[in-house]
Amino acid sequence: MNHKTWIFDLDDTLHHASGGIFDHINKLMTEYMMRHLGVDETEACALRSRYWAQYGATMHGLSTHHGIDPQQFLIETHPVEVLEQWLQFEDRLAENLSALPGRKLILSNGPQHYVEGILQRMRIQHHFESVYGVERLNYIPKPHLDAFQAVLAREGLNPAHCIMVEDSLPNLLTAKELGMTTIWVSREPRKPAHVDHRVEKISQLLRLHLD
């Protein structure tokens, strides 16, 4: 049997980023924008939300409209040594990942240093053959098709043999359009048509029938 390739998101998929990490990243992004764009906190928050909704990443809007250096922005707003105090994840995450047959990759809109740092602190980095932060996607975030195609091309993958595990419905929609099996990490009771399976946590992946 040809084992599938698992493509995992990171934030709110493998760990609970909404438990404090996202709040602090948003605060750092707002402060960065106030400093570099000369706007007040209200305007910075509004821009941050708008760019995130429009582009899938605040960084993309800032580099497109304001000429902000994306690398510098990502380094300043994702200090892993500060953010790790809010890190929350499942007890048996490493064992559950280990039990899944097939290759495993990470595809995240987060910066490379942050993604690798969080994986190391969860002690699961060795379960993933490749790790893609947004720099490795030419700073084009999910749900843009180019982000997915960059990984498929570089890894020599057929999307029909890939399983995307994500908390974001727009990202899963792109994955589905490419022909991937889609798994939504969510507590929502209902799932949209482009989601093949819904789980509340990674341990439930082992129970799915994914032939």
Beta strands in 48-154 (DSSP E): 103-107, 130-132
The four Cα atoms 66, 115, 144, 54 give a dihedral, to 10 degrees, of -40
Cβ(59)–Cβ(70) under 8 Å? yes
* 1: confidence class by pLDDT, cuts 50, 70, 90: very low
* 48: confidence class by pLDDT, cuts 50, 70, 90: very high
Average pLDDT for 169-195: 97
Helix (H, G, I), strand (E, B) or coil at 19: helix
Question: What is the DSSP annotation of 130-173?
Answer: EEE-GGGGTT--TTSHHHHHHHHHHHT--GGGEEEEES-HHHHH
Average pLDDT for 79-92: 97
Give 100-149 pLDDT, tens digit per residue: 999 999 999 999 999 999 999 999 999 999 999 999 999 999 999 999 99
pTM to 2 decimal places: 0.94
Category of 31 on φ-ψ map: left (φ > 0), alpha (ψ -120 to 50) or beta: alpha
